[in-house]
Amino acid sequence: MRRVFLLPVLALILSQGCDQKPSAQWRGPESNGIFPETGLMDTWPEAGPELLWVFEGLGKGFAAPAVTEEAIYVAGESEGTSYLYAIGPDGELKWKSENGEEFLGEGFSSTYPGARSTPTIAGGMVYAASGKGRVACYEASTGEEVWAVHLMDDLGGILGEFGYSASPLVDEKYLYCFPGGQKNNFVALNRKDGSLAWSAPVLRDTFAYGSPLLVELPGTRAIITTSRHHISVLDASSGELLGSYRLEGYEYDGEHCNTPVYSNGHIYFVANDIPGQGSIRLKISDDGRELSERWRNNGVMNNFGGLLVVDDHLFTTVKGNRLVSLDPEDGSVSDSIRVPTGSLAFADNKFFCYGNNGTMTLLNYDRGQLTEGGSFKVVEGSGQHFSYPVLHGGNLYIRRGDGLMAYRVREEF
């Protein structure tokens, strides 16, 4: 039976808060890796920007933070338990709340244990998912749990080899997520109490590791999501499958980890399959029912470092340590610059590239040209350098395993 825990004292807060859109979520306000920061430094000192603080104690994991004016929210792990942390702007812990069992893996997957999903903050609530599929709602100011649903135990979902990685997608009424089961393949939960609003079989495909997107098409409000074999477009009000595109090939240990990007009537996606999909640009119709391939570049692949779309060009890092730009007309590589392969963020006409080798690189983007503005090594924290960088309030936030670091990257006047 689905487990729902309600706190009556929070009813008024919830009834007011559910009219609000997310204030922080996976990959920024539009979930596309672009952050609305301004006044950022064009060049960094040789040693890198000022390190403001380091928070240690997050445990294992790769989950990026979600940042608001009030706090930095991030998932972590301790002794196999998933935790949600709220850290103040000064780097001090505000509260810490449990979220069930965390993913530790077996065999090869045990090489990459820990938290995976970025929390979503909306209407005074924090929505978080553990790597074992427990999705929960917390009061943002106190960490008090309001409700919880387990995607496997309660909804018949299927746990992937590397755990549940998707970040909760939230709008004014619902929390959307992908259990990946045969019956409850994709679902919408009531944001207020976690009850099931609708369930859709979609294509009954097993889930991938990217996160779903909510987009306003000219003719409908739609969800774009990936699964092992497809990119699918769903009606946000009912879960009806509007359109789909079949992805060629999949890496069993990757299974399409990147989140798609929607921009100007197109869907962009990068996979890492050999042989397989590579990078694609799809035209989506106004009603979401038609997806037509505009171009494909099988040679440009990325596993989990993400993609950015700037000026209709797709940017991603590739093997061989390069950031490449793909032409919007035919998908050919129109430009590239040497930078360690890793994850990306963009703000104030600048790319922030966090390499898997621990090198953070600043690239200035001016009239289509890329020039380096500095780099430094991230030595704090522990484990792999797989988390995505986040920008907020003139600060750059980087999570590396047990540690969360805040760097000052805004010009001082």
Q: What is the pLDDT of residues 334-353, one digit of tens each?
A: 999 999 999 999 999 999 99
Q: What is the pLDDT of residues 68-122, one digit of tens each?
A: 999 999 999 999 999 999 999 999 999 999 999 999 999 989 999 999 999 999 9
Average pLDDT over residues 320-330: 96
pTM assigned to the model: 0.93
- Which pLDDT band, with edges at 50, 70 and 90, does 413 fall under? low
Q: What is the pLDDT of residues 262-294, one digit of tens each?
A: 999 999 999 987 667 899 999 999 999 999 999
SS3 string, the chain, reads: CCCCCCCHHHHHHHHHHCCCCEEECCCCCCCCCECCCCCECCCCCCCCCEEEEEEECCCCECCCCEECCCCEEEEEEECCEEEEEEECCCCCEEEEEEEEECCCCCHHHHHCCCECCCCEEECCEEEEECCCCEEEEEECCCCCEEEEEECCCCCCCCCCCCCCCCCCEECCCEEEECCCCCCCCEEEEECCCCCEEEEECCCCCCECCCCCEEEECCCCEEEEEEECCEEEEEECCCCCEEEEEECCCCCCCCCCCCCCEEECCEEEEECCCCCCCCEEEEEECCCCCCEEEEEEECCCCCCCCCCEEECCEEEEEECCCEEEEECCCCCCEEEEEECCCEEEEEECCEEEEEECCCEEEEEEEECCEEEEEEEEECCCCCCCCCCCCEEECCEEEEEECCEEEEEECECCC
pLDDT for 139 beyond 90: yes
What pLDDT was estimated at residue 4? 44
Q: Which residue has the higher pLDDT, 154 or 277?
A: 154
CA atoms lying within 13 Å on the CB side of residue 123: 22
Q: What is the pLDDT of residues 25-65, one digit of tens each?
A: 999 999 999 999 999 999 999 999 999 999 999 999 999 99
Q: What is the pLDDT of residues 356-390, one digit of tens each?
A: 999 999 999 998 899 999 999 999 999 999 999 99
- Which pLDDT band, with edges at 50, 70 and 90, does 233 fall under? very high
pLDDT for 7 beyond 50: no
Average pLDDT over residues 232-251: 92
What pLDDT was estimated at residue 16? 44
The fraction of the chain above a pLDDT of 90, given in percent, is: 86
CATH number 2.130.10.10 is the correct assignment for the domain at 8-408: yes
Query: How is the chain split into domains, by residue range?
Result: 8-408
pLDDT for 198 beyond 80: yes
For all residues of the chain together, what is the average pLDDT? 93
The fraction of the chain above a pLDDT of 70, given in percent, is: 94
Q: What is the pLDDT of residues 8-36, one digit of tens each?
A: 434 444 444 445 789 999 999 999 999 99
